[in-house]
Structure 1
Amino acid sequence: MGKKEKKQKQQQKTSRRGASYYRNEEDEEDYDFNNNYSQSLASSSLSDQEPEHDDSNEEEEKEEEEEEDADDKTASKKGMPSKFLLYQQSVQSPKGDISYLQKFFLLYVGGRLPLHLQEDFCGTALLSTEWLRNDSRRTAVGVDLDLEALNWCIENNINKVGADGYSRISLFHGNVLQPLAAKLVNFESQEIMNSIGSKDCKDDSESNEVKSAVQVGSSTSTDDMYMKRNVQLVPRDIVCAFNYSCCCLHKRVDLVLYFKHVLDVLSKKGGIFVMDLYGGTSSESKLRLQRRFPNFTYIWEQAEFDIIGRKTRISLHFHLQKQQRKLRHAFSYTWRLWSLPEIKDCLEEAGFQSVHFWIRQMPDTEASRRTEGFGAGREIKYEEAMTFEQVDAWNAYVVAVAN
């Protein structure tokens, strides 16, 4: 096996998170739920900004091994940004996602504030750390197969939350299909340990909730700490799986099993599971899209689509302008592109009470190659839909309600 093949195989093994070529641009006013929570259901909205599609084809993506050998560790030593940082900047929009998560919870559960989040396929847990910011009562749980990404989160994301950030988040290294075997990631820094004790609880119930998060987050030895076996966690109000991560599960039986595990951790007082999905005629063909950022270009490459297995391979590349280097196949995935009815059937089989689709049409991929930006497309919001005619490209939130 050549160097190139070995690298791609290793990336497939360790990088299981999904990725969107449509990045949301957050609406700060809609996100301020702490000051305007009573009005959030009516006013919650989000201004989405999509990537610029390019028709130039740049090159045929056949650069040789010397470019692909620029892995993340070597890149960092040479002053190049981490692939995880590039991913966060180009793909993720946690504020926008959280805005919708709270809107969905208010709409389908209501009666209380959602405080406890679980982010599956969390990667660097950017959404989880953002979740902790505006309410000191919030806790978060993150689960991912990529230990490198989780460690990167500890070093680069959690420390930006505040002094008590480490005490309110629990990161687990493991497979979402085997939560009993997911192992708690240890926070070893003494500074982290000291910050845990600085939490000032407002009442007894809040104290008990935070105590649970502190107990798992501050363990001096997590060699034998596993989710659901000997780690006590608060039941989650919301569980999410974003960036098309459920496409990493290729078998129906696995999808149903995963949804059952999700239902098991949701609060008995009511909770929601939210995932995203994409589709359209362009999703079932070879596709190359790119978006330019100030210091790099983000490229989404979609291989040929197998209509029998409904599988395709997605690769994310980053072209770094300042360094004049390319991180090709920084993240690669083999996806099974599920349909909305299939997802709904699996959720209902797992035991969810109801399933709702929130969809928005995306700009046509062919037309967008001939224009700069997307114009009116940025103003389109996600809306709940019972029916939706096929288009070139669409994005959807799938909301499953428990109890």
Structure 2
Amino acid sequence: MGKRDKKQRHQPRRAAFHYTEEDEEGVGDGHYEGHSASKHTLSEEEEEEEEEEEEVDGKEEADEYPSNDLPSKFLLYQQSVQSPKGDISYLQKFFLMYVGGRLPLHLQEDFCGTALLSAEWLRTDTRRTAVGLDLDVEALNWCMENNINKVGADGYSRMSLFHGNVLQPLEAKLVEFEPQELIRKVSLTENKDNLESDEGESTLAEGSSSPNDEKYLRNHLLPARDIVCAFNYSCCCLHQRSELVLYFKHALDALSKKGGIFVMDLYGGTSSECKLRLQRRFSNFTYVWEQAEFDIIERKTRISLHFHLQKQQKKIRHAFSYSWRLWSLPEIKDCLEEAGFQSVHFWLRKMQDSRDIRKTEGFGVGRDIKYEEIKHFQQQDSWNAYIVGVA
């Protein structure tokens, strides 16, 4: 968010991937209009100059520039942070391992932001549906105009985006888009067949049939989800244990009674608990991850994402900022079990040390390192994890 954006208590817009996250399967082609990495990295002198310039430019607001001068901050985020194909590859793998018996078709992406993951999910199979939930209506509208239209003519009928808080999902409101309504009417019969083929199972709340309330998730007829996910460390936006357990209960409620999984990601390591500044240089911009001092008592820090635009010679400072509570793996496991999940599995990988990647190019770091299911893992400078809760 820009400096003028109001902070929302429970659910800031989707959190950013840690500084070394990249696509596991086919790096580069998992991004819409993705940039290739530049051969040039910053020297120490250039980095100091950039920092000096930031102190000046940081006083300016990004939205003071004419809109046609700057690319959307959402597009920059997608190009530098997200890797939907890699995530989907692991989601499918986890589902087949821990549930099996059928293909996963129905996804819910919490903290979805621009719902890039959901859009990619729909692109890979015409039988698939997706539900997205986020507090940032600007990001949801951007998705409607820029991501769903890349799915195909039926994208709007298979994607349902809701504006609301993950701690009160049934109160979330459907994001309306005019072409969406037209396509929904055309594909009404197809949707009805899909719902009936799922043994009549849906998440429509009992006693909620008023046509005037169809805009709320609680009254929206949806297939029960096979997978619910919360990526980009979004659960760190929930600071209280009670909030985390409540969210996990809502995720469990959305899953199919025939079996489903909840998947979230988390980062950690010694470098995650200190002040840190890292950057990736892409062909047209530099992405900067800035981590503030870490409070070891509350286990909180503030993450800011900046974009330095080479062509425009401008900077979008604090394009997105998050107040995070960095949870530990045992805490997440305990909360998932308390919420009612039958089993919890950890998939981890060691990341390259932060001192070696303060300046890097694109997504070229550690692409050959795969996640592995583990029960014991020694502390590292940096690690990433998928956490899988099985219903």
| TM class, shorter-length | 0.7 to 0.9
Q: What is the CA distance between 1:203 and its match in structure 2?
A: 11
Q: Would the aligned equivalents of 2:342 and 2:390 in 1 still touch at CA under 8 Å?
A: yes
- SS at 1:110 equivalent: coil
Q: What is the CA distance between 1:9 and its match in structure 2?
A: 6.0
User: Which residue is 2:296 aligned to?
Assistant: 307
- For residues 276-319 of structure 1, what are the alpha-carbon distances to aligned partners after superposition, in whole Å with 9 as ceiling and x for unaligned? 00000000000000000110000000000000000000000000
User: Which residue is 2:103 aligned to?
Assistant: 113
User: Which residue is 1:282 aligned to?
Assistant: 271
CA distance in 2, matches of 1:373, 1:169: 30
Give the TM-score, by structure 2 length: 0.86
CA distance in 1, matches of 2:212, 2:121: 24
- For residues 344-376 of structure 1, what are the alpha-carbon distances to aligned partners after superposition, in whole Å with 9 as ceiling and x for unaligned? 000000000000000000001113348878988
- For residues 307-344 of structure 1, what are the alpha-carbon distances to aligned partners after superposition, in whole Å with 9 as ceiling and x for unaligned? 00000000000000000000000000000000000000
- SS at 1:288 equivalent: strand
Q: 1:304 to 1:226 in 2, by over 3 A?
A: same
- For residues 240-268 of structure 1, what are the alpha-carbon distances to aligned partners after superposition, in whole Å with 9 as ceiling and x for unaligned? 00000000000000000000000001000
Give the TM-score, by structure 1 length: 0.83
- SS at 1:63 equivalent: helix
Q: 1:194 to 1:96 in 2, by over 3 A?
A: same
Q: Would the aligned equivalents of 2:2 and 2:319 in 1 still touch at CA under 8 Å?
A: no
Q: What is the CA distance between 1:8 and its match in structure 2?
A: 2.8
Q: Would the aligned equivalents of 1:124 and 1:149 in 2 still touch at CA under 8 Å?
A: yes
Segments of 5+ residues of structure 2 without an aligned counterpart are 31-36, 205-210
Q: Number of residue pairs matched? A: 367
Match of 1:332 among 321, 326, 329: 321
Match of 1:206 among 191, 194, 197: 194
**Counterpart of 1:16 in structure 2: which amino acid?**
R
- For residues 50-89 of structure 1, what are the alpha-carbon distances to aligned partners after superposition, in whole Å with 9 as ceiling and x for unaligned? xx8986353154225553x112xx5562331000000000
Match of 1:27 among 25, 28, 31: 25
CA distance in 2, matches of 1:339, 1:351: 19
**Counterpart of 2:55 in structure 1: which amino acid?**
K
Match of 1:70 among 43, 62, 77: 62
- SS at 1:345 equivalent: helix
Match of 1:260 among 235, 249, 252: 249
Q: 1:303 to 1:11 in 2, by over 3 A?
A: farther
Q: How does 1:235-384 map to 2 (within 5 A)?
A: 235-369=224-358, 377-384=366-373
Q: 1:369 to 1:201 in 2, by over 3 A?
A: same
Q: Would the aligned equivalents of 1:53 and 1:368 in 2 still touch at CA under 8 Å?
A: no
CA distance in 2, matches of 1:202, 1:80: 40
CA distance in 1, matches of 2:332, 2:136: 25
Q: What is the CA distance between 1:227 and its match in structure 2?
A: 1.2
- For residues 153-196 of structure 1, what are the alpha-carbon distances to aligned partners after superposition, in whole Å with 9 as ceiling and x for unaligned? 0000001100000000110000000112111111223xx34433
Q: What is the CA distance between 1:223 and its match in structure 2?
A: 6.9
Segments of 5+ residues of structure 1 without an aligned counterpart are 1-5, 33-48, 216-220
Q: 1:324 to 1:207 in 2, by over 3 A?
A: same
CA distance in 2, matches of 1:203, 1:87: 32
User: Which residue is 2:221 aligned to?
Assistant: 232
**Counterpart of 1:95 in structure 2: which amino acid?**
K
Percent identity of equivalent pairs: 69
User: Which residue is 1:143 aligned to?
Assistant: 133
- For residues 209-258 of structure 1, what are the alpha-carbon distances to aligned partners after superposition, in whole Å with 9 as ceiling and x for unaligned? 69999x9xxxxx97762112x11111100000000000000000000000
Q: Would the aligned equivalents of 1:259 and 1:350 in 2 still touch at CA under 8 Å?
A: yes
Moved more, 11-20 or 304-313: 11-20
